[in-house]
Structures are given as structure tokens and as C-alpha cells.
Amino acid sequence: MRCPHCDGLEDKVLESRSLANGESIRRRRECLSCGYRFTSYERIEEKQLMVVKADGRREPFDREKLERGIQRACEKRNISQVTIEEMINDLEDQAAMIGKSSREIATRDIGDMVLLRLYDLDSVAYIRFASVYRRFEDVGQFIREIESLGSGRDDGGRKK
């Protein structure tokens, strides 16, 4: 580690401490050339999970984008912020597991996971999200989706 004071390359570690649930390490160091003490941080660098769009484009997974969509669907519903946060955490973990080997996940898979969670949580939030995700273009699509909620079937007639 290069000393920030004298640019020396020799140092010794005085203290190491695990931070952020073991995801990073803080080290106190002392330069052997000039005696200057400084702190360094280490963390694991993982390859970014990529989202494969319908047109084949790829973009980095964006937790905030997922959160905005779910927040919009749940707006003015009796759903706590803690419940929404837990759902987002679970969805992020599930997406990472699905994309574990290839480091990629299709937007379709993410959307389907969100719909399954909202279906069990709140029917209005489910319909709101489905209308955007499935690109409803007329009232008939809303009606069919609402009717499918009553029958316990998704829009393809399959049992949920």
C-alpha cells in the first residue's frame, strides 16, 4: 500500500476491523519509511448483475428503479415502508440467485417476480404494476386482469 505522505511502499498493519457485516475491512497502517499512520479499506468487488431488456440491450441492475416501480404501485395503499423494503431486499436477493452463474437476468423474470409478490400482498398494487409491466392499452385488459384476480388465475388462464 502506497503511503499517502511519502509514497513509500512498505508498511505494517497495526489493526484490522471488520465492517458492514463482514463485507469490508478497515486497516490502520504505519509507513515503515516515515512513520505516517493512515487507514485503508478493503471490500470484495463482485461483477455487476446485468438486466437483459426485451430488445436484447443490457444494463446494470438498478435497485432504485425496482423500488420506484414498486413504490408507485403501492402508492396510497395500506402497505408499510418496512414491508416494501423487505420485498425489495428479497427480490434483489432472488434476482442475484437467478443470475448467479451468468450474472444476467431478464427484465421479464424481474417483472414476474414482482407480480407474484404483489399478487399476495395487495390486489390494487398488483393491478397497477401489471398495467405498466404488461402495457395495458385498453379498459378491457384491466377488466380481464381484475376478473382473473377473483378466479385466482393469471391473464393466461393459468392457476396462480
**Edge-to-edge order in the sheet of strand 50-52:** 58-60, 50-52, 104-106
- Most confident range (mean pLDDT) of 22-31, 64-73, 124-133 is 64-73
Mean pLDDT of 132-136: 80
Strands 50-52 and 58-60 turn out to be antiparallel
Q: How confident is the model at residue 145 (pLDDT cuts 50, 70, 90)?
A: confident
User: Would you state the cell numbers that stand for residue 62, as one nine-digit string?
Assistant: 438498478
- Phi, psi angle pair for 135, to nearest 5°: 55, 55
pLDDT, tens digit, 9 for 90 and up, residues 8-65: 999 999 999 887 677 789 999 999 999 999 999 887 767 789 999 989 999 999 989 9
